[in-house]
Amino acid sequence: MTRENIFRRYLVSFDSKTLQHIFTDTLIVGSGVAGLSSAIHAAKDGSVLIVTKAKINENCTEYAQGGIAAGLCPEDSFEEHINDTLRTGQGLCDAVIVSGVVREGTKRVKELIDWGAKFDKENGELIFTKEGGHSHPRILRARGDSTGKEIEDTLVGMVNKHPNIRVFEYTFAIDLLVSNNTCDGIIAWRSREGKMLIWAKQIILASGGCCQVYRETTNPEIATGDGIAMAYRAGVELQDLEFVQFHPTTLYVAGAERVLISETVRGEGGILKNKNGERFMPKYHPKAELAPRDVVSRSILLEIYRTGHTHVYLDVRHISEKKLSTRFPKIKKLCASFGIDISRQLIPVHPSAHYMIGGIKVDQGGRTNIKNLYACGEVSCTGLHGANRLGSNSLLECLVYGYRASREISSELRKMKDGLSPHSFKEISKNDRHCELDLEDVKNSLKSLMWRNVGIERDDKHLKEVVENIDLWCKYIINNEFSTPLGWEVQNMLTVARLISISASKRKESRGVHYRLDFPDNNDKCWKKHIVISNGKYTIIP
């Protein structure tokens, strides 16, 4: 079965004979922790080019507050971390992958520390905190609630001083160049040079997530699912796209971005209350505020419905002001900018789309089904998270798979000849329509539709409505030829939103972050399986 007709193979027309050509041994799309860490390792065996569509530090890593789960606490054990991950993943984790990432992750975190990352300490010892779903404090943090920024700054520093690494900022990766099931590079766009072809012996997609397809999201504006969409167009296998994780607590103030209120706030004693001032989590789960994220998100939604209010509140007034200033300086400052003194006032919170659990299907080394193409980080689906991600496992996965992909690449590069021979590629659009469109309106309409119909709760009627609307929009948007990133982003968002919605409609059960009102029960007999998508074909696999 071929790719669905509503999707183009390439978003733009181009001819390799007329474009600028760039060459590198390893090409990495994305500059978060996965992309940067893989670049540092890959640069030991050849030239590396990092392509990122904004500034190098504009990514989800930069905004990660909570921390990184690592087996460095003496009172903790690998087995407990493994069991917590498997339990949270509700039957869909790959146990071999979980064990490998947890055990290898310690080495990768120590390496990060050797590179200069400064995690918070007390009396010279690392501090560990606890998050929902974890049986033990094992979360390392930095700068209180700016762990991601500390990690990103450390990796950017390493990248900037490495002679084998180049960085192209403000460069949009439009599509993968694939022939004979082999990826040879990408077609990209830079504001000054326009379209160009970047050729590489090995390519890593580390382009991050896609939660900007939702109206309420913690993700920065760049998280539009470009990597997933371009992979789909190239025939790469995707898996588990129905599993989108919603973070329970984001700041809910009119005019404010839905900024994350870290799970570690609840780990340090923050209490959720409804509009009547009642603590409600103990009635939904024995771990109360530290239940897995899917449970907390749905519980908040139920309280919103029950009380007829737009949000709930996070109460940290019982925590000392000194501790709040030390542990959560960023959150304290953010709330203060909206007139909220968190030491004396409740924090209004509401769930938001946070993390794409599914993505590009990869093996233990980060390989995809396309030769020379790898994926790591949020854009990938490794089998670590299953149906629900355990908090702070994402940065750990990025470090481990960034290393694994680069290790595989180094092995391949040593077998390959020096130099690159570009192929002849030519794509001419068969559709000469160039509609004038209000792309911001299309984007906002899509985000609202996805939030209403493919959010924390789903059902068949509303999922079908989404697909019908997207198919209508695709008729005049997908085949339109755009010349700027906004147009390509909208096309990618429509592609990813459709894939999420169809996957969600096919999984007729509730599991982890995927909750169906019309199929509220878990069904292991029929659905302890994965949905894999490639070239328009949906396959159910064990």
Q: State the DSSP string of 175-221.
A: EEEEETTEEEEEEEEETTTEEEEEEEEEEEE-----GGGSSSBSS-T
Residue where the block lists tokens 């570690």: 264
Q: Are 358 and 168 in contact (CB under 8 A)?
A: no
CA-to-CA distance for 421 and 430, rounded, in angstroms?
28
Q: Are 100 and 364 in contact (CB under 8 A)?
A: yes
Fill in the amino acid letter for 319.
I
CA-to-CA distance for 365 and 49, rounded, in angstroms?
20
**Which sign, positive or negative, has the C-alpha torsion 144, 147, 153, 155?**
positive
Closest among 80, 197, 186 to 138, alpha carbons compared: 80
The alpha helices in 414-523, defined as continuous H runs, are: 439-453, 460-477, 485-506
Angle at CA 2, nearest 5°, toward 514 and 356?
A: 25
Q: Which residues are CB-neighbours of 74 under 8 A, at least 6 positions away? A: none
CA-to-CA distance for 149 and 60, rounded, in angstroms?
10
Q: Give kind and range of the element (H or E) at residue 531.
A: strand 530-534
Closest among 171, 426, 390 to 287, alpha carbons compared: 390
| Lookup: tokens for 89 | 């993943």
| Lookup: tokens for 20 | 């600028």
Catalytic: 293? yes
The one catalytic residue in 293, 327, 367, 458 is 293
Closest among 53, 409, 42 to 207, alpha carbons compared: 53
Active site residues: 293
